[in-house]
Chains A and B, each alone.
Chain A
Amino acid sequence: MQKHFKILIIEDSVDDLELYRRILQKLFSCSITHFSSATVAFDNIIKGSEHYDIMFLDYNLPGLSGMDFLKKFNQLVGEPHWPIIVLTGQGGEKTAVTFMQLGVYDYIQKSDISIEVISNSVERAITQYNRKKIEKEKQKELLLFAHTLAHDLKNPIARIAAFCKLSFRKPENQAVYLEHIAENASYLTQFIDQLLSYAEYGRKNPIQEEVDLSCVVSRAISNLDVPIAQSNAKIEMQGEFSTVIGCKISLIQLFQNIIANSVKYCATKPVISIQSTIDCNKHIISIKDNGIGIPQGSIDSIFKPFMRIKNNLDKEGTGLGLALVKIIANQHNAELKVESSEGGGTKFDITFALTN
């Protein structure tokens, strides 16, 4: 639990207020703001940008009732709002249900007030609030992901539809159109495969085995033999390599994705230099290329899923390669560093912590 609480109390009885103050100050380090009327409290909340960690609300208030205050408050702030604990002199199951429906986290009968009751109530309320906040964030992320995904799938599909139409209307060019259709279809398959990999990486139980990093890098390079041959790329490996604990297949994927980019996004003959250094307890592998580089403004976002950067080569990726690299690096507690400038090549540094 946090160390200091900002508490708001809306209570018109001076005696009750004193009781709450005494208990709360005994339990937590806190600063208490108090209003004796719900109307005044509400006005202050609207005007100010005060954020409270928890609110105690007396149900029986003169003027604006606790119930009406709650309704107005809900409209203003929305879910999830600060934990609200209602203090009431009147009991009854019915009132309890109404409170909960209005988003109240707990209600305490004044006759039941004690240090223990308040302590438990606050703890529960805050835990619940934190959980709700995390859930809301996750939902937002998922929605954004779905939107981006839908958009990225629509484009190649629209192209396939266009080429189908063209094949029909200009059959003399059919061969060319069919080639484009095949290309887009193949891209879609690759995209979906990578998407699945990306989604699954979080869930799999990571294998823990001893992995020889020089083998991993060599394997990644040999997996890329076709694009390497096609672009006549030159790749050099130098330095001392060691072993780490991790998952061999994932690590091969990590290096493969980085090297694939170096080969792909290059305007001339790709020259890639892989340098390995062991320093204290760190194993640093650098991959430096002579490619088109990454513009300064985009460097921070290259590991985001679906992030692609426009380039003069008109080459497009799935936007998931580096996102996967980041996930795998995180799984292995490896640090990732990128240095790049537009037209000046890119250097990736992957640092593993050695356990021996």
Chain B
Amino acid sequence: MPSTYRLQTNASEYHVFREIDIPSIRQKKISLMIIDDDRRDIAITTELLSLSCFRFNIVAYTNPTEAMEYLGSTEFLPELILLDLTMPSLNGKLTLEKIKGLAQSRAIPVIIHSSMYNMDNIIHTSRLEAHAFFKKPLDIDAFEDYILHGIHG
């Protein structure tokens, strides 16, 4: 494919709520947790993340309750969490509340990663202290830009 060809996909949609600062950013290695009830989506997100200049160490959970157990007991806390919203067992917003309510995980930036990108969810998750909301599928360039430079734009 000629390098000048530009692939037009759906307009990337994302919303940044807060500045982000990941300590290990200089080493370009980031430990990341994905919480998403759909294994296919986890696979896709992992694949998209592989396009990045960062190396992501990924831990993935399809069950938010198990993810919370991990966060509560592990020595190796992730530096960033990608959280899906629509999950039947424990829904995303509730999970966000729990992550922010748990001492061990309170400081970890949570980025909402969901196809349910709408005003209600944006406002709600912003209030629950999420750092940003990226609509699925992940816009890897915008995502990289955000975690590298910390702020939107």
Contact = CB atoms under 8 A, between A and B. Distances in A.
Interface of A: 151, 154-155, 158-159, 161-166, 168-171, 310, 314
A168 B116 contact: no
A162 B9 CA distance: 9
B136 interface: yes
B144 to A, nearest CB: 12
A169 B135 CA distance: 19
A158 B37 CA distance: 15
Nearest first, the 7 closest Cβ-Cβ pairs linking A and B are: A162-B137, A154-B115, A158-B136, A168-B7, A162-B44, A158-B115, A161-B137
B3 to A, nearest CB: 11
A318 to B, nearest CB: 15
A164 B135 CA distance: 16
Given A158-B136, A159-B44, A165-B137, A310 B37 contact: yes
Contact of B116 (A151, A163, A169): A151
Contacts of B88: 310
A314 B7 contact: no
Interface string B122-153: 00000000000001111010000000000000
A169 B51 contact: yes
A163 B9 CA distance: 11
Contacts of A154: 115-116
A173 to B, nearest CB: 8
Interface in B72-127: 86, 88-89, 115-116
A310 B1 CA distance: 40
Given A159-B44, A163-B44, A310-B88, 15 more contacts: A154-B115, A155-B136, A158-B136, A158-B137, A161-B9, A161-B10, A161-B137, A162-B138, A164-B9, A165-B7, A165-B48, A166-B44, A168-B1, A170-B47, A310-B89
Given A159-B41, A162-B136, A170 B9 contact: no
Contacts of B40: 159, 314
A316 to B, nearest CB: 8
B61 to A, nearest CB: 13
Contacts of A171: 1
A155 B51 CA distance: 21
A169 B138 CA distance: 14
